[in-house]
Structure 1
Amino acid sequence: MSPDPRPAEPAPLRQQAPLLLEPEAGAPAVIDSGWQPPPLALRRPARTRLGWLAGGLATLLASWAGLAAITFVEDLFQRSPALGWAGVAGFGAGLAMLAVAAAGELRAWRGLARVDRLRRLLAGPDAAMPAMRAAARDWVAAVRPGLPEAEAVLAALDGAETAAALRALLRARVAAPLAQAAGRVGRQAALEGAALVAILPHPALDGVFAGLRGLRVIRQVAALYGLRPGTLASFALARRVVWTAAGTAGMDMLAQTMLDQVMTTVPGVRHLAAAIPGAGVAAVRLYRLAGITASACDPLPPA
């Protein structure tokens, strides 16, 4: 049988829509609520001129206050030794109070820095097991008040032979209970936030009171993770939470599933959201804030 002399017909061209970006290798075909890309590697901004300006003004004010106090006490001694010593006692008491407050803020700052140090240590290889085990003990000791099984976890740390086993133990018996406690804080805050929106006399006050309640949520969740942030450290922790939220690109921040979860897990929010405009939004924001704060305070590296 002779071959067919006719040329083969070309394959029909498949029409394809124009592509703006090339598809990423290994990316999921469908982006839904289960899509969880890796955190974004955001670069923290360098110190700005505003920071230098604030530092310079604080230095000038502290210098002026110190020189004014010395001059005032010297003038009191010229008037009367009794008045001079009374002035010294008053200024000494004030300085002692400031020193106690500054020491508390310093401890809070060191606690925030300890989270980063523990995260670096707990992400180490098997060769760094002694340092990882010591870091794990430090973390368990810090969260002991909110962890009923702290003693059992400390005893089980010696049985972890590899870094992966140690991290799995900490995730299952330390991070998971703390995340559940943070979820309870978030649900309580969501209910209170929705009720607060319902009773406020003017919608312009919603943001103010929601911000204050959000700062309290940050402090409550931080306390669960062994941190005791003061006033200044609370704002530093809030900045850390913002960076954590920006670096987490999960679709649950945008999807309807987050709103549905809050409506189903927090009793009363569904009725308040249906009756009061804005109550559901406030509840979702506070609930999500508790989860992001827990991620920012958790020293365990991402799984």
Structure 2
Amino acid sequence: MSPDAPAEKLDLRWEQAVVAVPEARTGGWSNLSLAALGAASLVLGLSALDAANFVAEQFARSPWLGGITLLVALFGFGLIGWAGIREMRGLAALDAVDRARVAFAAGDTARARLETLRWAESVPAARDLLPALRDAPDTATLRALLEAGPLRTLDAQAVSLGRVAATQAFAATAISPSPAWDALVFGWRAIRLVRQVAALHGLRPGFAGTVALLRRSAFSAVSVAATNVLADAATRAVVSNPLIERLAGEAATGLVAARRMLSLARAAAAACRIVPPA
């Protein structure tokens, strides 16, 4: 045996001891989120108290006037409460996607199967696969079934949505009068695209959920808008002839916007996947 044999055995044991560790989750409430929640609680709480005092005053004046005031207050606060419930449901659905990803990364078959079945029940493209998912023996089989079936379909549908959005972004950018208007139209269409891709994956994100998806897709409304403005300004500066600037510059800016919209569609699809892309 060579003198290096113990070292070789030690290296082999070291390599065998290395196991895959799931990526640590960095979620949680940020200071800004806590401050916003506190401010919203104060505004809603004080508004509710003020509304209650006003309703009591109306009842003191007349029972029918108090009843009408109470119905109006209940209707308004009920809509606010329902909106809050929908926001929480959207965030809970995103959290379920995170739990599934952690389960797949850790090789936890039982939890991965449970989260996959919950997800498949809410996604039309995956419902036909429910019996096979229930019988899957391990996470590798679950992943293979998802990749070969619903996830491939959803990726293709997301790209189709991205092409439609890219065509609209190209047309809107080519005829818009200013870079600021380009940024506004592009930002609005990008947010709508993210929500459409999320709906394909069984998610119904509200405002907070859409912001979370934009962050996960490595995009933000500010950066996309700023990039679009800078790209348009740079394109306009390349040429000096007014006619060439109008024809070539606007077309080039529209192509940049269309390409970014397609990239956003693919990134949003990757962020919504129950199994992260390989």
* TM-score (structure 1 length as normaliser): 0.68
Q: Do 1:123 and 1:301's aligned partners in 2 also have CA atoms closer than 8 Å?
A: no
Whether 1:279 and 2:254 are equivalent positions in the alignment is yes
Report the CA distance shift for 1:65/1:273 in structure 2 as closer, same or farther (over 3 A).
farther
- The answer on whether the counterparts of 1:187 and 1:287 sit within 8 Å (CA) in structure 2 is yes
Cα deviation, residue 93, structure 1 = 1.5
Q: Does 1:137 align with 2:117?
A: yes
Rounded Cα–Cα distance in structure 2 between residues aligned with 1:133 and 1:88: 48
Match of 1:220 in 2: 196
Runs of at least 5 residues in structure 2 that lack an aligned partner in the other structure:
1-22, 221-246
Per the alignment, residue 30 of structure 2 pairs with 47
The residue that corresponds to 1:202 in the other structure is 178
Contact 2:117 2:134 in 1 (8 A): no
Q: 1:33-81: CA deviations, max 9, x gaps?
A: xxxxxxx999679723x44443333232123211210121111122112
Percent identical pairs in the alignment equals 37
Q: Distance in 2 between the 1:46 and 1:89 partners? A: 35
SS in 2 for 1:123: helix
1-structure distance, mates of 2:100, 2:25: 20
Structure 1 CA distance for aligned equivalents of residues 199 and 90 of structure 2: 11
Distance 2:158 2:142 in 1: 22
Deviation of 1:198 after TM superposition, in Å, equals: 1.5
- Partner in structure 2 of residue 123 of structure 1: 105
Larger radius of gyration between Structure 1 and Structure 2: 1
- Count of aligned residue pairs for this structure pair: 230
- The RMSD of aligned alpha carbons is 2.6
**Residues 122 and 299, structure 1, Cα contact 8 Å, conserved in 2:** no
Q: How does 1:220-299 map to 2 (within 5 A)?
A: 220-242=196-218, 276-299=251-274
- Aligned-partner Cα distance in 1 for 2:263–2:277: 18
2:167 is aligned with what amino acid?
Answer: L
> Structure 2 vs 1, CA of residues 41 and 192 (structure 1 numbering), >3 Å: closer, same or farther?
farther
The aligned residue for residue 15 of structure 1 is: none
Confirm whether residue 163 of structure 1 aligns to residue 143 of structure 2: no
* Pairwise CA distance, 1:165: 2.3
* Aligned partner of residue 296 in structure 1, secondary structure: helix
SS of the aligned residue for 2:217 comes to helix
User: In the alignment, which residue of structure 1 is the partner of 2:71?
Assistant: 89
List runs of 5+ in structure 1 lacking aligned partners.
1-39, 245-271
Cα contact 1:118–1:299 (8 A) shared by 2: yes
State the secondary structure of the residue aligned to 2:110. Answer: helix
Q: TM-score, normalised by structure 2?
A: 0.74
On the 8 A contact 2:270/2:276 being kept in 1, the answer is: no
Identify the residue that residue 19 of structure 1 maps to in structure 2.
Answer: none
2:96 and 2:115 in contact (8 A); partners too = no
Mapped to 2, the partners of 1:209 and 1:64 lie a distance apart of 37
